[in-house]
Amino acid sequence: MFTPPLDTLLVFMIGTPAIGWVIHKKGYPKVQGIYASAGLLVAAYFLYGLSQEVSEKGIVLITGPLPFNPPFGACLQIDVFSVFMTMVYIIIGLFTTVYSIKFMERDSGLTEYYTLMLGMVAGMTGVVFAGDFFTLFVFWELMCLTSYALVAFRKQKWESIEAGFKYLIMSAAGSATILLAMSFLYGMTGTLNFAALADRLANTSSEGWLYITLALVIVGFGIKAAIVPFHTWLPDAHSAAPSPVSAMLSGVMVPTGACVLIRILLLVFSSAQPAWQMTLATFAVFTMFGGNLMALLQNDLKRLLAFSTIAHMGYIVFGFAIASPEGLAASLFHIVNHAVMKSLLFLCAGAFIRQTKTRDLRKLRGIRRAMPMTSAAFTIGTIAIAGFPPLNGFWSEMMIITAGVRAEMIIFSALMLTNMALSVVYYFRLIRVIILEKPTKVSKKTTKAPISMLIPILVLAFLCIFIGAYPVPYIDASSKAAEAMLNIRTYIDAVLRGL
Restricting to residues 288-307, name those near other proteins by CB under 8 A: 294, 297-298
Q: How is 27-89 classified by DSSP, letter by letter?
A: --THHHHHHHHHHHHHHHHHHHHHHHHHHHHS-EEEE-SSPP-GGGS-EEEE-HHHHHHHHHH
- The size of the interface with other proteins (CB under 8 A), counted in residues, is 86
**Shortest CB 246 distance to other proteins, Å:** 15
**Shortest CB 141 distance to other proteins, Å:** 5
Is the Cβ of residue 242 or residue 314 nearer to other proteins in the bound state?
Answer: 242
Instruction: Determine the 3-state secondary structure of 130 from DSSP.
Output: strand
User: Which residues touch 25 (CB under 8 Å, ≥6 apart)?
Assistant: none
> In this chain, which of 27, 156, 438, 441 binds other proteins, going by CB under 8 A?
156
Distances (CA, A) of 111 to 29, 115, 233, 446, 455: 9, 6, 27, 29, 23
Terminal alpha carbon distance of the chain? 20
> In this chain, which of 58, 204, 275, 293 binds other proteins, going by CB under 8 A?
204
> In this chain, which of 119, 222, 257, 319 binds other proteins, going by CB under 8 A?
119
Phi-psi label, residue 357: left if phi above 0, alpha if psi -120 to 50, beta otherwise: left
398 binds other proteins (CB under 8 A): no
Is the Cβ of residue 116 or residue 364 nearer to other proteins in the bound state?
Answer: 116
Please give the residues from 10 up to 39 whose contact with other proteins meets the rule CB under 8 A.
Answer: 10, 13-14, 17
Is the Cβ of residue 224 or residue 338 nearer to other proteins in the bound state?
Answer: 224
**Shortest CB 299 distance to other proteins, Å:** 9
Q: How is 170-230 classified by DSSP, letter by letter?
A: HHHHHHHHHHHHHHHHHHHHS--BHHHHHHHTTTPPP-HHHHHHHHHHHHHHHHHTT-GGG
Please give the residues from 171 up to 190 whose contact with other proteins meets the rule CB under 8 A.
Answer: 172-173, 175-177, 179-180, 182-184, 186-190
Cβ atoms of 315 and 231 closer than 8 Å: no
Is the Cβ of residue 294 or residue 380 nearer to other proteins in the bound state?
Answer: 294
Pick the piece of the chain touching other proteins (CB under 8 A) from 207-215, 260-268, 325-333, 414-422.
207-215
**Shortest CB 64 distance to other proteins, Å:** 4
Is the Cβ of residue 138 or residue 398 nearer to other proteins in the bound state?
Answer: 138
User: Which residues touch 147 (CB under 8 Å, ≥6 apart)?
Assistant: 120, 167, 171, 245, 249, 253
Distances (CA, A) of 385 to 15, 199, 232, 396, 397: 37, 40, 22, 10, 10
Please give the residues from 238 up to 257 whose contact with other proteins meets the rule CB under 8 A.
Answer: 240
x/- letters, 38..77, toward other proteins (CB under 8 A): ------------------------xxxxx--xxxxxxxx-
Pick the piece of the chain touching other proteins (CB under 8 A) from 129-137, 353-361, 370-378, 431-439.
129-137
